[in-house]
Structure 1
Amino acid sequence: MNVLVGQILKMNQVISIKEFIKFVGVARSTIYEMMDEYSPYYDPNFPKKVKITQNRIGWSAWAIHQ
């Protein structure tokens, strides 16, 4: 995994898709493919999304770190 340079993530922090992309180092489309149960790239161990608002999701920094 890549490390965010110059930024500190708190383990109880919920991060956005842009921060997730920087941290993991994969494209947005790849993240959504890995979350999709019907995709050949589905990963059941992939961190689960957290619903922030009706139209916005994020991920737990602690889950990503694991």
Structure 2
Amino acid sequence: MAAPSPDAPTAKLLRMAAVKARTGLSRTTIYRRMEAGTFPRSWPISAGLVGWYETDIDSWVADPMGWRAAGGKS
């Protein structure tokens, strides 16, 4: 899945608490799935802060078992 343009007017970044609430996953599970390529990657917001594009999380929630990162691991 291609990443949305960071300067898209409707692009919204979600912080970890919102991602955990939407997915029901723990922080550890989110990072393990990112490493495996089965969860959207995070994007740096500033030093020590990351966020996920809302559209990426929505896509994952719609099909968690079928979601794969573009060019990611299988």
Match of 1:3 in 2: none
Residues 45 and 35 (structure 1 numbering): CA distance in 2 closer, same or farther, change over 3 Å?
Answer: closer
Structure 1: any 5+ residue segments left out of the alignment?
1-10, 37-41
The percentage of counterpart residues that share the same residue type is 24
Q: What residue identity is the alignment partner of 2:25?
A: V
Alpha-carbon separation, structure 2, partners of 1:56 and 1:46:
18
TM-score by length of 2: 0.61
2:23 matches 1:24: yes
* TM-score computed with the length of structure 1 as normaliser: 0.67
Paired with 1:30 and 1:46, the residues of 2 have a C-alpha distance of 10
Q: Who is 1:4 aligned against?
A: none
Specify the SS of the correspondent of 1:48.
coil
**Which residue matches 1:48?**
41
CA RMSD of aligned residues (A): 1.3
Aligned equivalent of 2:66: none
Q: Secondary structure at the match of 1:58?
A: strand
- Structure 1 counterpart of 2:19, one-letter code: F
Query: Which ranges of structure 2 fall in alignment gaps of 5 or more residues?
Result: 1-9, 60-74
Runs of 4+ in 1 over 6 A off after TM superposition: none
Higher helix share: 2
